[in-house]
Homo-oligomer: A and B are copies of this chain.
């Protein structure tokens, strides 16, 4: 067991004294102190174990020994900048390229998803000679100033904030809560037409489009899965306007979606972005990131005459770690695991939907899944407080889950990729029980909810079960666990399938 330097209260006090108050902790009224982690588990200062359903950064599992070993060996040998030749850099570039369409062949190594997306903008500006960026509603692309500009998820947090002149916000292609829904005959075309409209409106103002940027699947935006064919149609409109397509894979890349290595590949083989940005899972926690683009874009960027130098980007240690992560994904077939366990988890959540009126939607690909809670299925009223309650109650049961999206009512699953069927069952059983309690307290009944759905209501007996629980307080540190809803000791024991 790892030891503490300070007791928890002292840690909190020092943090309040010396760490920026804008930097929030999870569960602000009772934050968690974590001292060690392994695989899909994290342990607090009392050595209590939490099931981690949220840390997509610890992609191949917390503290994976192969990754630690690769980092250690290279740290002992050499860690310097990319102005010296080194095999790790070129090996890693080659390996990353091999996961992508051939056209995406030129890499830039940087330190974070934010650095990657900022560089993607610089590449687009230089290549197109245009300035304007189209982004999606609720999008989040990073914390540096150029990215706050294109992140409605962030700039909407500021009172009276509006998009900058060069930023145009298109509809989120959300077929559950967006303008065009699952009953629309062709939401892909309809949402892409909206991008076309946005382009035309920009052109009317004399502005020119440099790029469209979107996460391949929106994460902070609420686990949104764009309809297949949407990216192809958007890319056509954007390219017709002289712009390029940036696929942000920072949250969803590296096999998480199960069927494919990259999220954008869910759209079909006929879709190739002009730039792909990577981040979070790339180094299993090590600060590193990459931008990959075409030879044409890269040559254009060079033609500006400005060198690109990134002090830490592509150093031999980062590349050794990146290579080890790729090796582990392959060796342990984590993409296959994401497909199978993710599919199973989705199936379990779909079953919850049949029994729980609070569940409005279950959507996801692989181990990237959203469970959207609603107070009313017809009106799809966001169940924001209930979602917060669920994650706080899960935390009490030592399961770490977060709620996000514009209404903070979407429970987000994005666990380490070594997540198992048993982990999925434990999480779903615990949620099942919490929802049962919540619905009882709220007086919600399934028959009311299912009138407009084709699901069927069924209830089960509850019995005692060991649970774990946790959350992500998103951007509101003032959130408090209301504690108004009684918490049953009983939990649901589903028959294992």
**Segment with Cβ contacts to B, from A221-229, A312-320, A333-341, A451-459:** A312-320
Q: Does A85 contact B (CB under 8 A)?
A: yes
Looking at the assembled complex, report how far the CB atom of A30 sits from the nearest CB atom of chain B, in whole angstroms: 11
Q: Contacts A94-B14, A146-B144, A298-B20 given: A477-B87 contact, CB under 8 Å?
A: no
Contact B108 A79, beta carbon cutoff 8 Å:
no
Give which listed residue, B62, B68, B108, B304, contacts A72 with CB less than 8 A: B68
Chain B residues within an 8 Å CB radius of A6: 87, 90-91
Contact A475 B71 (CB under 8 A): no
Given contacts A17-B105, A20-B107, A22-B298, whether A76 and B80 have CB atoms under 8 Å apart is no
With a cutoff of 8 Å between Cβ atoms, the chain B residues found around residue A17 in the complex are: 105
Segment 292-348 of A: residues with Cβ below 8 Å from B: 293, 298-299, 301-302, 304-315, 317-318
**A37 in contact with B87 (CB, 8 Å):** no
CB distance B22 to A308 under 8 Å? yes
Given contacts A79-B286, A105-B18, A85 and B301 within 8 Å (CB-CB): no
* Residue A371 lies at the interface, judged by CB distance under 8 Å to chain B: no
The verdict on A287 contacting chain B, using a C-beta distance below 8 Å, is yes
Contact mask for chain A residues 33-73; partner B; CB cutoff 8 A; 1 contact, 0 none: 11111000010000000000001011000110101100110
Closest chain B CB from A251 CB (angstroms): 10
Partner of A35, one of B34, B42, B78: B78
A305 touches B159 (CB 8 A): yes
Interface residues of A in 113-133 (CB under 8 A from B): 113-115, 118-119, 121-122, 125
B305 touches A32 (CB 8 A): no
Assuming the contacts A20-B106, A84-B33, A106-B18, asked whether A154 and B306 have C-beta atoms less than 8 A apart, the reply is yes
**Contact pick for A157, options B22, B118, B285, B305, CB 8 Å:** B305
- Of chain B, the residue at the smallest CB distance from A159 is B305
In the complex formed, the residue of B with least CB distance to A21 is B302
